[in-house]
Structure 1
Amino acid sequence: MTSGVYNIPITAPFLDCLAAGIWERVNGNLIELTDVQVILPNRIAIRAIAKSFLRLSPNPVVLLPKLSTITDEQEYFLDWKAKPDSDEAYALEILPAINDLQRNLELMHLIIGFFHTYANGNISYTPGQAYLLATKLSHLIDEMQIHELCFTSLKDLVPDSYASSWDKTLAMLTVLLKGWNTRLKELSLVDPIVRRDALIRAKASYLLAKQPNSLIVVAGFTNLIPATAELMKAVLGLPNGAIVLPGLDIYSDELTWNAIANDPNHPQHGMNKIISTLGITRVKVQYWSPSLSSTGRDRLIHEVMRPAVTTNVWCNLFTAVGGPKPADFEKIIKIEVPSSREEAEVIALLMREVLEKPDKNAALVTNDRDLARRVSNELHRWQIRQEYGEEIAIKDFGSFPLSNSVPAIFMRLVLRAAIDCSPVALLSLIKHQLSNCELTSERLELAVRVIDREVLRGPRPPTGLAGLLKFVKTIILSKTINQNAADLLFHFCEWLSKALGPLEVALSNPSILLTDIMDIHLRAAEMFATSHDTHGSLRLWAGEDGEVVAQLFRDFIDVACALNPIAGADWPELFNMLLEKRVLIPHYNMNARLHILGFAEARLQTFDRLILGGLNEGKCPSKPQLDPWMSSRLMRRNFGLPDVDLTTGQMAHDIAMAMGVQEIFLTRSQRTGSNPTIPARWLLRLDTVARLLHSEEKLKFWQELPSYSYTLLDMPKVFDPGQQPRPQPRLNQRPRRLSVTQIDTWLRDPYSIYARYILNLRKLAPIDMKVGAAEYGKAIHDALGAFVHDYPQTLPSEPNKVLIAYGKRSFAAYANSLSIWAFWWPFFERVASWFIKVEQERRKSLDYSTIERKGTIAIPAPGGTFELFGTVDRIDKNSDGSYSIVDYKTGLNPTLSDLKDGRASQLPLEAMILLARGFSDIVATDISSLEYWRVGLGNQSGRIDLVDKIVPDLISEARSGLESLIATFDNEKTPYYAAPYSHYNLRFRDYEHLARVGDW
């Protein structure tokens, strides 16, 4: 008599073999097949085995057995509900389960209430922080209920054995769990695990009571919980009940098998527990079908996974009888590449190759979501869907946080923009694919362009919608933009105020109902999503991810109406936490030929080519998550909770089953970003066994498959460096007017003049530009200039106080910039003191000063008159009738060699304009000095670098040099080179990327 427990070896396709065994047992009779009941771990396995039955049938259609997961509520398991008068266990009414969102919100409410009541206001949690703690508490509750532990047992743990804070955690847990049980009774609900276990036990009771004669199979389970154990025992007690295990180790000796029982990291630990719980021995476990048998690959896999305490037998592995052989490494291919990007490229090539073989499929199985995304992008790069059709489309089943979906990102951007209306947040929102702002696409594009260029570039506008509107009105009044653009800008900003205003007010509300702030948030999002002809709700909630986000909000509103108000400022954190803790699982197409799966989704499935990717420690297996409630292994063990390494053991079993595929690739990157990685433990074990069997070459990738030279994929056949640009515009296109500050640029980098004045390209200011040295320079110029303008001859009675007042007025434009006031303002105060001392001494020999004077002169040239213009910071008329030209510098002053070599020609050229009477009413015949005043940098308050004796020579050289430069570029054959003098370092090179300097 058989035990009723069967095994399908690792190298056999589990679901295909399971279906074939059932088919054999009913002799292909479709009527009998429909009476068979098959219980599998998940819905993916159900869909996959349905295809297995279809392949077995000689007809294009087939009647299927009753397929279910262990928690399904099909009628054939729930007809006990029709017998409420029965006193049998399976007739008990089971309360509905609370959903995860409602449970987390209710627990959040309890946690906030606990700190309010018991912490006396010394500890406070924001709703977002409390929600995160609630999710961890939900996980602890689930674990306790899975393993049938009572919270009253917490008091039996000895606080002295743990950290001193454990007694406080214990007290908090006791209050929260007691309050939670009370709340569940009020809601007439139960925890999800309670309902699930009740359903499983109801199935077990039903089967034991009915004793059906039809075949009932429980298959594919790799771990055991108490409720599942009852169901399995019930199935074994039936006339035709069967338990089918995936990949049971039938090779290990008893010493090894006993070691597995104590090693939760081992892939067979769960199997060991199932066997012992069912009260049978491995020798009584038979193969599911007579045609099944073990292979060398099976022995190799079990040897690689051998428990650490028995690995001493590896010393004799090469000569061991019945052990793995070098031939067993056939088609196990290991790939190590330097980076994650290269790993993705190799995997994509491996998957792409499968499409060349009809009816073949491939799958990437990985825990690394970043790697999965990279591979998916590489595959889409080759336009597989368009070339091969929908039936072989790439399907990525791995779940990811709902916060990464398009509607969720849009909702978060709406919040971000309402918080402070920062340029980056606002532009991200109005440029999002879902934004239409109640406009046509053309009108929206124009509005975005205007607000981008005219408002949101440069230093940040004042905070908030009111600050933005005030800033926009200032721009419009300045008349720097045309009237049409000004009207569009004003109306668009008014609309922004209408759309975001209520949410901005709600976020500043100290107490607001969750339902109210959610409703305001949704209305704002729908306004932004509304186009000129379609309401926002139809665009925002469309598609699979839109439906999931909408359902989250519906669930939230149903629960939130019973919760206490929160501060509006806490809503963004709570909202982000709600999204992070909900996952989006895309629709899965079983007919796809290329799959990207997580380990859980790939369980029990078989593919022609399987790639295990991202095999690095920390990803495979993942690091155990920190638990704020049960922080130590000893604490969990004493309480009765399973070891955290059980998840590692489950992953080890998934990897062992995956290695049974005929063709498998094992890939890893040696670095992730800039960080070195460590190979996954199972990869190291495989390497070790390969070396012991002298089979290292079997795992070499590059020698066996040289065609995968992925590094050549994007490499050009010929390297052709770019040519230095040599634009030669016609003479009538060349500029005939430049400022004195542009002459140095013209000399050092003519291409910049070409791009700016011939192509009319102007560099845009950065978005939300950081306020720094440039803004400090402008503020100090304004302050010093205003002071000299108002007091050109004599100083006021308290000059230092007056200058400080001018400084505050100049710095007021940067009132929102902490860096200006914290870092630059102290510099200005030191400069003010130094400047007044200099002025007090200087005014003794000074007639008057004038500032910001604009001057211009005409210079005859071969191509026609050339106009030179400039604005001088300051001109001083000295008592002896001579003049001095002053330039305020917040950076480094030019050196004397710079002046002599013509690399700093600004002041000599301004002096030339002054002598030529280019500054209207100023008639100068003698310029005694050119002065650079360095104001407020480093430890110095200020410094004056003065040039006096060689001024005439500098002016003469500057004029002759300028005339020569003009004449040179009046020749149409003279190109506008990009940086012709490599030894000249320009401080600003705005057009370097346009000239593609790096290419040549």
Structure 2
Amino acid sequence: TGVVRNPVGTHPGIRIWGTLEARVQGVELVVLGGLNEGTWPEAPAPDPWMNRAMRKAAGLLLPERRIGLAAHDFQQAIGAARVVLTRAVRDDEAPTLPARWLNRLTNLLEGMSDEGRSALRAARARGAGWLDLAERLDAVPEAERLAPAPRPSPCPPLDARPKRLSVTAMTRLVRDPYAIYARHVLELSPLAPLHQTPDAPLRGSSMHAIMERFVREAPAGETLAAARVRLLETAREVFEAEAPWPAARILWMAKLARIAEPFLRDEVERQSRAHPFKQEVKGTLTFPEVDFTLSAKADRIDRDESGALYIYDYKTGQIPGKNERKLIDRQLPLEALMARAGAFEGIPPSVVVETAYIGIGAKPVFERSPVTEEDIDETRRDLLELIGKYRIRSRGYTSRRLVRNVRWEGDYDHLARFGEWDHATPPTPVEVGP
């Protein structure tokens, strides 16, 4: 360590000193700053090697000696002809406590005669003038002051609104409609990071590739032990191709190895009911009554001997809860609707009996939901109702309408000026465009 000097000189009439320099020099006006407990005086530093008794036995000075020295420095400095006593009433984390000798001084003046109390009030009044000047330095003139941005809810023309969305975008339409407006109306896409990192989306896409290949290459009559070896070998090859970070590959392999056995046991149960039929299969379904097309890419669809379908979605992140699946995240019900209509490539109209999330993240999860014809009919009605609402010009695309929690970050929060408004702020629908 060393002393760093600022080459730019200060005002010739101003000197910034520590207590050491102030002991041996004098001036007409002294400004004593940092008069808070923990700053002046500093809190005694903890000693991990010797306690107070050991220091005393060794003939070393006690920590309180520094407090006494700080009190002496304060006593010397306050004896100047003119003195300004200052402190910050709050730091970055919490309110502060005034220094003990500042407390002692104010208590003494308040407990004296009327003359002492008058002197204290006069000192505070003089200080208030300086505080006012400091506040005005950073104050924005009223004429230049900008009001906080409102919570956006743009209402574009009907012909500019999207007529085709994916099932995952439908979740976004419920959760954060403004993101749909920015992405599909304004055609603004988030920029890829300048330097790719081993983040959650990359791990998710890699895990999907592992699952697709593992299921596709499964031989007949494979034992659990052999399946585990093949799963980890497949993962190793995919990670080496997709993630050029050795540390990330080791971490991801360890996570997969931890859930491999319960995942494979669940896989045996899945394939006892139905066999894998299609993976990463695309589909589209058009609804002429609202002039809208729904698209999807299903992770996996199994089919049993009767021709009934089981739709699975792999999740490396958090699996939506029951209420969230019913109100917000309708991905699997929408895929069931499409499968019943024969909207997926190579799959005729079929009965869907079950949808499920397969958790392949930190914990192995197999979240199953039975499907009935009434469920699919309800999903269709809800979809048409939702699309119909956005076929009204006065319906705006509100920012962060139903986010999972307040810490959830969207790709377009900065564009929506989130932070100048919060979730208690009512949206402001505004017609945009011709």
Scaled by the length of structure 1, the TM-score of the pair is: 0.35
Partner of 1:784: 211
8 Å contact kept, 2:266–2:366: no
8 Å contact kept, 1:789–1:849: no
Give, in whole Å, the separation in 1 of the partners of 2:407 and 2:387: 21
Give, in whole Å, the separation in 1 of the partners of 2:16 and 2:162: 59
For residues 293-333 of structure 1, give each alpha carbon's deviation from its aligned partner in whole angstroms, at most 9, with x where no partner exists.
xxxxxxxxxxxxxxxxxxxxxxxxxxxxxxxxxxxxxxxxx
SS at 1:668 equivalent:
coil
Partner of 2:170: 743
Partner of 1:667: 86
Partner of 2:383: 962
Asked if residue 889 in structure 1 is aligned to residue 338 in structure 2, the reply is no
Deviation at 1:583, TM superposition (A): 2.5
The 1:790–1:650 alpha-carbon spacing in structure 2 relative to 1, beyond 3 Å, is closer
Asked if residue 924 in structure 1 is aligned to residue 349 in structure 2, the reply is yes
Give, in whole Å, the separation in 2 of the partners of 1:917 and 1:831: 34
SS at 2:153 equivalent:
coil
1:945 to 368, 388, 396: 368
Asked if residue 806 in structure 1 is aligned to residue 270 in structure 2, the reply is no
The 1:586–1:887 alpha-carbon spacing in structure 2 relative to 1, beyond 3 Å, is same
For residues 849-897 of structure 1, give each alpha carbon's deviation from its aligned partner in whole angstroms, at most 9, with x where no partner exists.
32111222333255xx433211101011211122221112344544555
8 Å contact kept, 1:889–1:934: yes
1:854 to 259, 282, 285: 282
Give, in whole Å, the separation in 1 of the partners of 2:3 and 2:397: 58
8 Å contact kept, 2:41–2:70: no
In the TM superposition, 1:968-979 aligns within 5 A as: 968-979=389-400
8 Å contact kept, 1:861–1:966: no
Deviation at 1:765, TM superposition (A): 6.8
The 1:687–1:915 alpha-carbon spacing in structure 2 relative to 1, beyond 3 Å, is closer
Aligned partner letter, 1:828: L
8 Å contact kept, 1:846–1:876: yes
Partner of 1:829: 257
In the TM superposition, 1:617-632 aligns within 5 A as: 618-620=38-40
The 1:972–1:672 alpha-carbon spacing in structure 2 relative to 1, beyond 3 Å, is closer
Partner of 1:909: 334
Give, in whole Å, the separation in 2 of the partners of 1:800 and 1:653: 72
8 Å contact kept, 1:669–1:677: yes
2:154 to 693, 710, 727: 727
8 Å contact kept, 1:749–1:977: yes
In the TM superposition, 1:369-380 aligns within 5 A as: none
Aligned partner letter, 1:668: R
SS at 1:582 equivalent:
coil
| Higher relative strand content | 2
For residues 218-240 of structure 1, give each alpha carbon's deviation from its aligned partner in whole angstroms, at most 9, with x where no partner exists.
xxxxxxxxxxxxxxxxxxxxxxx
Partner of 1:202: none
Give, in whole Å, the separation in 2 of the partners of 1:589 and 1:926: 81
2:102 to 679, 683, 696: 683
Partner of 2:303: 877
Give, in whole Å, the separation in 2 of the partners of 1:832 and 1:624: 52
The 1:836–1:684 alpha-carbon spacing in structure 2 relative to 1, beyond 3 Å, is closer
Give, in whole Å, the separation in 2 of the partners of 1:914 and 1:686: 80
8 Å contact kept, 2:40–2:70: no
Aligned partner letter, 2:76: A
Aligned partner letter, 2:332: L
8 Å contact kept, 2:286–2:293: yes
Deviation at 1:613, TM superposition (A): 0.9
Aligned partner letter, 1:967: G
SS at 1:806 equivalent:
helix
Partner of 1:25: none
1:756 to 174, 183, 194: 183
8 Å contact kept, 1:933–1:942: yes
1:868 to 294, 297, 319: 294
Runs of 5+ in structure 1 lacking a partner?
1-579
Give, in whole Å, the separation in 1 of the partners of 2:301 and 2:277: 6
What is the root-mean-square deviation in Å for CA atoms of aligned residues? Answer: 4.5
SS at 1:726 equivalent:
strand
In the TM superposition, 1:698-717 aligns within 5 A as: 698-700=119-121, 701-703=123-125, 706-707=128-129, 710=132, 713=136, 714=139
Asked if residue 612 in structure 1 is aligned to residue 32 in structure 2, the reply is yes
8 Å contact kept, 2:243–2:249: yes
Equivalenced residue count is 403
Give, in whole Å, the separation in 2 of the partners of 1:895 and 1:674: 35
SS at 1:853 equivalent:
strand
Aligned partner letter, 1:911: A
The 1:635–1:943 alpha-carbon spacing in structure 2 relative to 1, beyond 3 Å, is closer
8 Å contact kept, 1:856–1:869: yes
Aligned partner letter, 2:295: F
Deviation at 1:945, TM superposition (A): 0.9
SS at 1:669 equivalent:
coil
Give, in whole Å, the separation in 2 of the partners of 1:752 and 1:682: 56
The 1:987–1:703 alpha-carbon spacing in structure 2 relative to 1, beyond 3 Å, is closer
Runs of 5+ in structure 2 lacking a partner?
48-53, 426-434
Partner of 1:502: none
8 Å contact kept, 2:215–2:276: no
Aligned partner letter, 2:119: K
Identity, in percent, stands at: 29
Give, in whole Å, the separation in 2 of the partners of 1:930 and 1:726: 34
In the TM superposition, 1:70-149 aligns within 5 A as: none
Give, in whole Å, the separation in 2 of the partners of 1:893 and 1:650: 58
8 Å contact kept, 1:855–1:913: yes
Give, in whole Å, the separation in 1 of the partners of 2:391 and 2:130: 57
The 1:836–1:692 alpha-carbon spacing in structure 2 relative to 1, beyond 3 Å, is closer
The 1:904–1:703 alpha-carbon spacing in structure 2 relative to 1, beyond 3 Å, is same
8 Å contact kept, 2:30–2:77: no
The 1:932–1:991 alpha-carbon spacing in structure 2 relative to 1, beyond 3 Å, is same
Deviation at 1:820, TM superposition (A): 6.9
SS at 2:263 equivalent:
helix
| Higher relative helix content | 1
Aligned partner letter, 1:669: A
Name which structure has the greater RCO, CA cutoff 8 Å, separation 6+: 2
For residues 613-638 of structure 1, give each alpha carbon's deviation from its aligned partner in whole angstroms, at most 9, with x where no partner exists.
112355445679999xxx9689789x
Give, in whole Å, the separation in 2 of the partners of 1:831 and 1:657: 67
SS at 2:178 equivalent:
helix
Scaled by the length of structure 2, the TM-score of the pair is: 0.73
8 Å contact kept, 2:274–2:310: no
For residues 482-541 of structure 1, give each alpha carbon's deviation from its aligned partner in whole angstroms, at most 9, with x where no partner exists.
xxxxxxxxxxxxxxxxxxxxxxxxxxxxxxxxxxxxxxxxxxxxxxxxxxxxxxxxxxxx
Aligned partner letter, 2:385: S
In the TM superposition, 1:33-44 aligns within 5 A as: none
Aligned partner letter, 1:739: S
For residues 430-479 of structure 1, give each alpha carbon's deviation from its aligned partner in whole angstroms, at most 9, with x where no partner exists.
xxxxxxxxxxxxxxxxxxxxxxxxxxxxxxxxxxxxxxxxxxxxxxxxxx
The 1:712–1:809 alpha-carbon spacing in structure 2 relative to 1, beyond 3 Å, is same
